[in-house]
Amino acid sequence: MITGTAAGFSCGEMVAVLFRKELLLMNNLGLWHGGDYYPEQWLDQPEILNKDIELFLQAGINTITLGVFAWSFLEPEEGKFDFSWLKERVDQLYENGISVIMATPSGARPKWLSDRYPNVLRVNETRQRQLFGGRHNHCYTSSVYREKVARINQKLAQTLKDHPGVIMWHISNEYGGECHCPLCQDAFRRWLKKRYDSIEELNQKWCNAFWSHKYLSFEQIESPSTIGENMVHGLNLEWKRFVTEQTSDFAACEIRALREAGVMQPVTANFMYDFKGLNYKRFSKEIDVVSWDSYPLWHKREEILTARDNGLQHDFMRSLKKKPFLLMESSPSSTNWQGVSKLKKPGMLKLDSLHAVAHGSDSVLYFQMRQSNGSSEKFHGAVIDHYGGEDTRVFKEVCEIGEALNSLKEVAGTSVRSKVALIYDTESRWAMEDSQGPRNNGLYHHEACVKIYSAIKKLGFNVDVVSMEDDFSGYEFIAAPMLYMFRSQVEEKLRTFVEEGGKLMVTYWSGIVDEWDNCFLGGVPYGLMDVLGLRSTEIDGLYDGEVNHLVPVSGSWEEKEYECRNLCDLIRVQGAEALFVYGDDFYQGYPALTRNQYGKGLAYYVCADAEAKFYDDFFRRVLKESKIEPLVRGEIPEGVEVCSRESDEFEYLFIQNFNREPVTLSSELMDDIGSGTFLYGEISVNGEIVGYQTVVVKRDK
């Protein structure tokens, strides 16, 4: 365990404490199994708390998160603290071999704080102060709120920093939202002054000559509002960046309070699915470990489609730091907040949990351990439900997961190595969805990314999901779908990547604007026209239901036609070879898929929002021609996913069947798998893997 005081360490050195493999292996934890627990809801019923411990042990629970939303119990009145009940729980858990992730309580403040200091409450974009209630209804700029949070964090740290049962600190809960109060307006203006040398530079970069919107001073600038200015795209974009900066700074202040009080354990914050409110790439710099809350909509469509969509998010979270992440929350059963609260069918909870591990998670943690008996989340699934017994279907499956994670404990701390990367950039998406054209109702960026990601995963590749800020060296293929904004010299990095032998795929609506959302002059995709061998001339937005087609050029490639919808880019080739052309409309015969040799590499341009089958065939051919080797040989059956993790000595191959029925693996695939030993699960001698099954094969590297 990492313990000790701050003596001899600077705050910066403590912040640099990293999440290492050794931390997970200490105390024989291996993969963490457990989740969010709220004993403060049951302090008047100690028999329940004691029974919970028994059930935790039976289910193979080794990690519990405490303290989330506990502020009113830790500080029931201002300046009056009570940590006795919390320390008692930490002691009891530790005595039973269960470790604790200790949370700070800033996600929901007590009523006394809002009553005494109303300025800590948020102001919405119409400049209306909010009432007490909900979660994260507080201003991240407020010095009062920062002071009160720092104080409670330091009191917590002083009480528990040296406790051998505390293995990690979890700051707040699902940071999000924004505040438009006078404090935030002033902070926004100060932030802009640091970003721009003068108001004249800001006016120029925001294109404020348009609609006569020039500012005379920074003091005239206000945050975007539906009752004010919300059509200056530079303003909208910079406000989103500021919200991320202010939220990240608030998190950094939370962490600083812990570090200054002597906390040496790693720190995490839980992120959310496909969340557009913050740039997680920026935020992740403040924490040691990325964690996230995963609630996929199983059984709404084919399971493999849900798995691929959720898998993209797993890989996005893992790629933020290129290290193992934590599955911080998942529902053992149904949720209470989705449109339909669907039960997980037998076997799905385990399949879902091990899916996270396959993609790089070192934990399976649930929300929640015991179901609340009242208020908002009383019907949210839990390990222990209102009945409170051990003979429920869900509890039995949680026990099975505990056994599975114990069998896989040597996987903890291992890495994921990817030959293929998908660029999925938050800031570009912000700007694109605010661009007012060519489709204001449905650009389908996320859907396009999922189609591309799915096509690559079907072939048995690991995929890193990266931003424009990342280093592209080490990859063999990069997909850049709808990269509307070019920043961080991404065009130069992609140029170098192709020039040195990499394979690149760029799609329509890429390289259109700079980092201030101003259109590039002189032709697009900006900085890559020679690499791609073309210039985009126009883009057509198709009506809902309108379809065009991608038709192969005779003898060039595939002999199939594919549908395309939503967006069709009209290009002029300048050296590129057209592999497909459009089949309809006035641009019939225009190039729809091109290939261009540049340096030692190849660059492809997909001109339209093509159907999934197109990407399946495209990547099957291109990756094979590029001689980029997948994780396994042989065809992977539909509905089966293959992932891998690796240590210095071994590769751990995860084969998961998301079909409800058994499937049979090919003899070639079985021969490949047969080169290793089965660490978990089994496949029959004739290659059959049962429905909702996970198999893990350990192979020498």
- Please state, in angstroms and rounded to a whole number, the distance separating the CA atoms of residues 66 and 180: 32
- Which 3 state secondary structure label does DSSP give 296? coil
Helices (H), 434-574: 445-458, 490-499, 529-532
Output the six-digit token pair for 386. 């209102």
Closest CA to 280 of 333, 318, 232: 318
The residues that are catalytic are 174, 329
- Residue matched to tokens 């002189």: 522
- Please state, in angstroms and rounded to a whole number, the distance separating the CA atoms of residues 113 and 43: 23
Closest CA to 66 of 40, 41, 101: 101
Q: 445-458 and 426-433 helices cross at what angle (nearest 10)?
A: 140
348-351 long-range contacts, CB within 8 A, separation 24+: 348/298, 348/299, 348/303, 348/692, 349/394, 349/397, 349/398, 349/401, 350/397, 350/400, 350/401, 350/404, 350/692, 350/694, 351/656, 351/658, 351/692, 351/693, 351/694
Count of alpha carbons within 13 angstroms of residue 53, beta-carbon side = 16
Closest CA to 175 of 101, 266, 244, 257: 244
Question: For residues 212 and 250, is the Cβ–Cβ distance under 8 A?
Answer: no
Interior/surface letters 21-30, b for 16+ CB within 10 angstroms, e for the rest? eebbeebebb
Output the six-digit token pair for 242. 């500021």
Question: For residues 668 and 633, is the Cβ–Cβ distance under 8 A?
Answer: yes
Strand partners, 650: 700
Question: For residues 274 and 297, is the Cβ–Cβ distance under 8 A?
Answer: no
- Please state, in angstroms and rounded to a whole number, the distance separating the CA atoms of residues 659 and 650: 28
Element (H, E) at 644: strand 640-646
- Please state, in angstroms and rounded to a whole number, the distance separating the CA atoms of residues 541 and 88: 62
**What letter would DSSP give residue 415?**
B
